[in-house]
Every structure is written in structure tokens, then in C-alpha cells.
Structure 1
Amino acid sequence: MRRVTDGNRNISAILAFILIPISGFAMDVYVPSFPAMVHDLGTSVSNVRLTMTIFLISYGVSQLFVGSIIDSYGRYKLGLASLAAFIVTNLVIVSTHSIELIFVMRALQGFLISIIMVSKRSLFIDVFEGDKQKHYTSLLSVVWSAAPVIAPFLGGYLQHVFAWRANFYFLAIYTFVMLLLELSYSGETLARTKPFHLASVVNTYKKMITAPDFAYGIVVLGLSYSMAIIFGMSAPFFIENVFHYSPVVTGYAALSSGVALLLGGMLSKSMIARNFMAKLIIANLLQAVFAIAMFVTAGWFSSIYAIMFFVISLHFLMGFMYNIYFTYCLTRFPENAGVSGGITSGGGYIVTSFFSYLLANTLNIHNQQTFAISYIVLIILIGVMLLLLRRYLNSKKIYQQVAGNM
């Protein structure tokens, strides 16, 4: 079996960065097609939203145990098999008119994408060390943010020119190309496999989850990303059904949101040496200011431009906070990179799937005011978690240690 060595380390890292956005593409590329799917499949709005929620739950839950599997059996072969199976699931989706079968395929896709993502994130822990490792792990979430920028924008045009099934054809083609490249240039990165002992795995999970700074981070990440998912679940319906714009406009709106998220992550990376806790608290307070202003001004003016101004501002701050804590959690337990990466991302997505689906359907988001309420709820919950985190850091007197890790 081919291994990643000094000779192919750089090309393997490049391929990993190209593949990392696949989870975002799987989630977001078909967002502008939500209204068309409701019509074409003869189903409800909540059912179409549920296709995303099912993916998120499967993706999140799978990552909780996938990390220990790839730490025990390796990354490369499992990753290749998952890429091949993911292609098949997309071809099944484009060939069916059954929403129930799409539910099943989306659940399977969540599991397959979790294997791919955890394997590729682990590469940077496996083959790099020190500052280079921190640089690449910080860059991970910035690269991952490219998918929310590109995917809905591309999906809007695919829907406008072709139909909603074109999104899943795109996913199949993209994955097929990456499978060929992985077969040609990449390889195994795990130096030594760890025997799979259930008791040892349980102890590792317990050690991570009971570390308050790590556990709070998972919740903060999940609540933060809920903002983007709620926007994705709700934007197509109010843009296309309330404001009567085309799916292309939905794509541009999502593009604006994604660019804001990406820029926030890039700013965070440039401020990596600044105080960890201060960055998070200031960003959370600024989010509260924008969300309250969004709610208050809804009675004076409400348009797609006003909504997008606040969405862009809030998502910029969300990307900033997400990158800070994602980097911290990902490097918190380097001796168990696969498991910690899986718990970080998986736990965050479980939190995201719960709160995004709950708020999107409970509030029936259709205007600026209901959007603002969803953001305010999430920001308050994030603020509570940050206060708990600060109390913990104060009690352990590890501010300097955290700052050093960042």
C-alpha cells in the first residue's frame, strides 16, 4: 500500500485541501433547489429541509466513532472506499422520485463524508509538526469555508439552467475526479495503527468529553454553525417565494454569506497570536449588537438587501469565532487526532442539526424579524457557553497555556 512520504507529502496535502470542501458541497450545493424539489417530488417544505437535517445528524453521529476506526485501521483505504460509495449514492438520488429513498441516501452520505473528512483532517496531524501543523489546521477551516461560498452559488445556476438533480450529478463527477487523483498520488498517513479495544476507546472519549474547554468548544461550534444552516434552510423560500427572485439570486445571497464566513476565518487566522478568550467574547458581543439591530429595524424597513446586510455581518463574526475554537479543539489532543477531529466536528454537527431544524421550523422564518429572533437565541446560548468557559479557565488558571496553544 502506498504511503505518504516526504516525496508526496505536499501533493497529498494539496489533494486533502481540495477534498475538504466536499462536506460543504454535499450540504449546500442543492440549497437553491429546495422550492423546486418541493414541487417536483410532491412533498412538503419540512421534508426537503429534513434531507439536510438527516445528513447533518448522520455526519455528526458518524464522526463520533469514525475517528477511533481510522486510528485503528488506517485512513487511506477507508477513504477510497467512501469516495466510491458516495458516487453511487448521488446516482441513486438523481434516479428516484421517492423522498423516502433520498432520506436513506442522505443518511448514508453523512456517514461516508464523515470518513472522508476525518481521514483528511488527520493527515495534517499525522505528517506535520509544530508551527506548520498549527498553520495547516488553522487553514483547514478557512479552506472548508470555501464550500459555503461556492456551492450555493453554483447550485443556483445548476437549478436555473438544468434542474435540482444536476446538483447531485455535480457531486458524483467531483468525487469521481478526486477518487482518481487520490488513487494516483496520495497514500496512508497513519504511522502505526492502534489496536481497537473498546475499553480504551471509551476511556479516550471520556477524557476528551470531560475536558470542559473541549466540551464547551463543541457546543459553541455547533451553535455558531447553526446560523449558516438556518440561513440555508430558510433563504430559498423567502427569496424565491416571498420576494419572488430566481434561484440564481438565492445562490448570490448564499455566496455573500459564504464570503463573509470565509473572510471571518481569514481574519481569525491573522490574529492567531491574540488573546483567545478576549477574541471570542468581543466577537459574541458584536454579534449581539447586529442581531438586536436586525430585529429593531425590521419594523422600519425590510428587504432582501437589509436582511443580507445583517446576515453578512453576523456570518463574518461567526466565521471568525468558528475558526478560533475549531483550531483549538482540533489540536487539543494531538495523540488522538482522528478521535478528537471526529468528536469536534461530529459533536458540533449534532448540536447544529438539532438547533437549526428546531428554530427553522418553530419560528417559520420568512422575514427579517423572525431571522433576527433565531440569531438572538443562538447568540445568547453562545454567550452563556463562553461565560462558563471563562469561569473554567479562571478556576484552572490556564489563560497563558491557552494563549500559547493558539
Structure 2
Amino acid sequence: MASIIANFISSRKKVKKQYRDISKILAFSLLPLSGFTTDIYVPSLPDMAAALHTGNLQVQLTLTLFLVSYGVGQLLIGGIMDSYGRYWISLVSLIIYALSSLAIALSNNIYFIDVMRVIQGLTVSAIIIGKRAFFVDLYTGEKLRHYLSLFSIIWSLGPILAPFIGGYLQMAFNWSANFYVLAITATIMVVLELIFSGETLKKPKVFDLSKVTKAYGSMLRSPPFTFGVLIVGTAYSITMIYNMTGPFIIEHHFGLSAVTAGYASLVLGFAWLCGGLAGRITREMPFRSKLTWSNNLQLLLVTFMIFTTVLLDNSYFLLCFAFLIQVCAGYIFNNLLTHCMGMFPENAGIAIGLAGGLNLITVSILSYGVVELLPARDGLNLGLSYLVFAAISLMARWCIKDNRNK
């Protein structure tokens, strides 16, 4: 069986040497796709709810469904790609992604859009994992470490640029313009991939479900791993909760435009990037002390935000506090996710897929649950939402410490 798979993959279109630099640029260009898919239509959420004659919670669910399917996809697709190759799975996924984006743009049915968002989550997981593996397949040593260190920075371009672009698309057209842009961009990438890219997997592995399941069980029984992923999920939930509620607060509560909402999301996306860069700068600091002081600082800022919002309901104060809180969230996320992914070096690929997938599923459950509990009404509800995530993060950190003491 292994020889049949190996022969099948070896017969496929390979990356030509003269096109390797171009295919590398294409791989980097697709890494922010998940961020663009979630964030480009964030400024359009209020208009989308009105145009589709549905409630705020229903359009917010489109974000949650994407994240759940994206997370589930990460749990499953890595092992399949290790066995059957990266290129054609990624390419077919990109074609399906383009078609689903077009279908969403043409639809006026929220339930159909929900289904398409699930499909988008699954296809994006295949595209992103395939393009991350591209670098692992082709590069080694210092060059590989250099490219891997760029992943989080390049990924951050999605949350930074997407809502900024989406705000102007909303002002010039309507919510569906965002998905037309995604469909056109994906179609262009399909053509470029067909011309310049190809298969990079050299030695396929036999897909062994029992081995993967056993490794998953071992990791899930490790409290530092499971509670660590929970903390990572709360950090990313802080970003996601703003994406789900911020545009409604900016546009409905403060009466500002979709472009302003886009600029606000751009600033907060930059805050996340600042947190990631701060994590790189302080990478030599003791890990536990970094986690402790960043967690405590985040909780302190959230407390100040709640009291300030009660006294002064102002968009500038809200965004200032949200910026600082998201810097802390980005710092915690980048430090702890990297730490969790490195806990099981003997099963590094499985650990990366499990940590990434569980993180997204955790974010989906927490963010949608909190939005239902604390609707997108004003800055106070946003601050209370942040408090829920900060408190869960603090309790998870205590559980890790308590388990270590035992």
C-alpha cells in the first residue's frame, strides 16, 4: 500500500526549480487566508443582518461555524496530507473555497451561508496546512527556522488588513462585495498555483488512525497541554469577541460608519501583532513568569476598562483599553501556543494539529457562548466579556500550577 501511494505521489506535478521562489511567495500569500476569511466582512456584520432580515446573533454564528470547521479540519487533514500529498488537496480546496465564496455573495439565505461557511472552514484548513508543510518539505536548518519565524507575522496581516479593506467595500458596495473579492482572489491564486506550484511531499507515510488516536489520548491526558490550550483559546477569544461585537458597538451604539469600524479593527489587529512581536523580543525570559505577569496585567486592564466605561462611555477610551488588552492576548497566545506545540517533539505534527484545532474549537464555543450571554450592546458588555475570558485563563493557570505541585 505504501509503495502504491509513493508511486502515485511521485507521478504528480512537482515544483520546478526555476519556479521555487514564485511558489514560495504564493505559499506565503495564502497563509493569511484564514484571517481574511473571518475579518474582511466584520465591518459589514450590521448591514448583513439587516439585508438578510435576521438577528445579530445569527450573522455572528457565521464566524463561529467557520472557526469550528477550521478547527476540526486541522485535527484531521494533517495526517491525510502526510499520506496523500499537499498540492492537489490544497488546489482542489482552493477551487471549492472560491466557489463557496461566490455562492455566499449571491445568496440571501442565512442558513445556506452557514453551510458555505462550514465548507470554507474545512477548505481553508487544508490550504493553510498544505502551505505550512510546503516550507517543511523544501527547507531545512536555519533557512527553515527563518521561514517558520515569519509565519505568525505574515498570518497577522489578515486581521490587520482585512477589516480595513472590508470597511471600504461596505461603504462603496454592500456586504456581499467582501465575498466577491475573496472569490476573485482565490480564482487568481488557483491559476497561479496551476502554473507555478506543485507537489512537495517526498516520502509519504501510511495513514495509521490508531497511532494518531493513541497520540491524541496521551496529549489530552496531559494537564499542562490541555489547560495550556484552554488559555490559548481564551486569548484568541478576546480578539474574536471584538470581531463579533465591535462593529455593532461602533456603528449602532456610537453611530459611526463601517469605515470607522474597519479602521478600529485594523488598529486592534496591529495590537495583536505587537503582542506577537513582544513575545519574540522576550523569548529568553522564563516562560512561567512571562505567562504570570501578562495574565495579571490583562486582568488589571480589563478591570480598569469596566470601571472607566461605567463612568465614561467613549469610543476612544474603549479602543485604547481594547488595544492594550489585545496586546496582552497576542503575547499570551504566541508564547503559549508555541510552548504547547513543542511539548511532544516525538509527535510534533500531531501536536501542532491538535493544539491548533482545539484552540479554534475552544474559541468558537467560548466566543459564541459569551456573545449570547452578553450581546453586542455597548463597551460595558465588551469589558464584561473580556473579564469572563481573563477569569477562565486565570483559573486554567491555577489548575496547571496545582497539578504541577502534586
Separation (CA, whole Å) in 2 of partners of 1:81 and 1:186: 13
Equivalent in the alignment of 2:232 = 221
Equivalent in the alignment of 1:144 = 155
Separation (CA, whole Å) in 1 of partners of 2:308 and 2:106: 46
Alignment-mate amino acid for residue 217 of structure 1: G
Q: 1:142 to 1:326 in 2, by over 3 A?
A: farther
Q: 1:277 to 1:250 in 2, by over 3 A?
A: same
Alignment-mate amino acid for residue 33 of structure 2: I
Equivalent in the alignment of 2:249 = 238
Equivalent in the alignment of 2:87 = 76
Shift of residue 121, structure 1, vs aligned partner: 2.3
1:324 matched to 2:332? The reply is no
Q: 1:77 to 1:333 in 2, by over 3 A?
A: farther
Shift of residue 338, structure 1, vs aligned partner: 4.3
Q: Structure 2 unaligned runs (5+)?
A: 1-11
Task: Tell whether the 8 Å contact from 1:38 to 1:44 is kept in structure 2 after alignment.
Answer: yes
Task: Tell whether the 8 Å contact from 2:16 to 2:197 is kept in structure 1 after alignment.
Answer: no
Separation (CA, whole Å) in 2 of partners of 1:26 and 1:393: 39
Question: Given the alignment, which residue of 31, 34, 49 partners 2:45?
Answer: 34
For residues 97-122 of structure 1, the C-alpha deviation after alignment (integer angstroms, 9 at most, x for no partner) is 11111011011111111111122223
Shift of residue 182, structure 1, vs aligned partner: 2.3
Secondary structure at the aligned position of 2:206 is classed as coil
Equivalent in the alignment of 1:111 = 122
Shift of residue 274, structure 1, vs aligned partner: 2.2
Alignment-mate amino acid for residue 367 of structure 2: S
Equivalent in the alignment of 1:364 = 375
**Identical aligned residues as a percent:** 40
Task: State the TM-score, normalized to the length of structure 2.
Answer: 0.91
User: Which range moved further: 153-162 or 51-60?
Assistant: 51-60
1:153 matched to 2:157? The reply is no
Separation (CA, whole Å) in 1 of partners of 2:28 and 2:344: 22
Separation (CA, whole Å) in 1 of partners of 2:48 and 2:32: 24
For residues 152-197 of structure 1, the C-alpha deviation after alignment (integer angstroms, 9 at most, x for no partner) is 1110100000111110011112212222232233333333211122
Shift of residue 130, structure 1, vs aligned partner: 4.5
Task: State the TM-score, normalized to the length of structure 1.
Answer: 0.91
Alignment-mate amino acid for residue 157 of structure 1: Y
Separation (CA, whole Å) in 1 of partners of 2:180 and 2:401: 46
Q: Structure 1 unaligned runs (5+)?
A: 396-406
Question: Given the alignment, which residue of 46, 51, 61 partners 1:50?
Answer: 61
Alignment-mate amino acid for residue 122 of structure 2: F
Secondary structure at the aligned position of 2:202 is classed as coil
Equivalent in the alignment of 1:340 = 351
Equivalent in the alignment of 1:297 = 308
1:24 matched to 2:35? The reply is yes
Secondary structure at the aligned position of 2:279 is classed as helix
Task: Tell whether the 8 Å contact from 2:248 to 2:376 is kept in structure 1 after alignment.
Answer: no
Q: 1:181 to 1:216 in 2, by over 3 A?
A: farther
Separation (CA, whole Å) in 2 of partners of 1:185 and 1:3: 10
Alignment-mate amino acid for residue 250 of structure 1: A
User: Which range moved further: 317-326 or 117-126?
Assistant: 117-126
For residues 14-49 of structure 1, the C-alpha deviation after alignment (integer angstroms, 9 at most, x for no partner) is 322211110011111111111111111111111111
Equivalent in the alignment of 1:124 = 135
Task: Tell whether the 8 Å contact from 1:119 to 1:338 is kept in structure 2 after alignment.
Answer: no
Equivalent in the alignment of 2:299 = 288
For residues 62-114 of structure 1, the C-alpha deviation after alignment (integer angstroms, 9 at most, x for no partner) is 21111221122121110011001100001111111111110110111111111
Shift of residue 8, structure 1, vs aligned partner: 5.5
Alignment-mate amino acid for residue 226 of structure 2: A
Task: Tell whether the 8 Å contact from 2:249 to 2:379 is kept in structure 1 after alignment.
Answer: no
User: Which range moved further: 43-52 or 187-196?
Assistant: 187-196
Task: Tell whether the 8 Å contact from 1:32 to 1:251 is kept in structure 2 after alignment.
Answer: yes
Task: Tell whether the 8 Å contact from 1:330 to 1:344 is kept in structure 2 after alignment.
Answer: yes
Q: 1:266 to 1:14 in 2, by over 3 A?
A: farther
After TM superposition, which residue ranges in structure 1, 4 or more long, deviate above 6 angstroms?
none
Shift of residue 3, structure 1, vs aligned partner: 3.7
Cα root mean square deviation, aligned = 2.1
1:313 matched to 2:316? The reply is no
User: Which range moved further: 327-336 or 147-156?
Assistant: 327-336
Alignment-mate amino acid for residue 126 of structure 1: D
How many residue pairs were aligned?
395
Equivalent in the alignment of 2:267 = 256
Shift of residue 339, structure 1, vs aligned partner: 3.0
Q: 1:393 to 1:127 in 2, by over 3 A?
A: farther
Task: Tell whether the 8 Å contact from 1:261 to 1:315 is kept in structure 2 after alignment.
Answer: yes
Equivalent in the alignment of 2:217 = 206
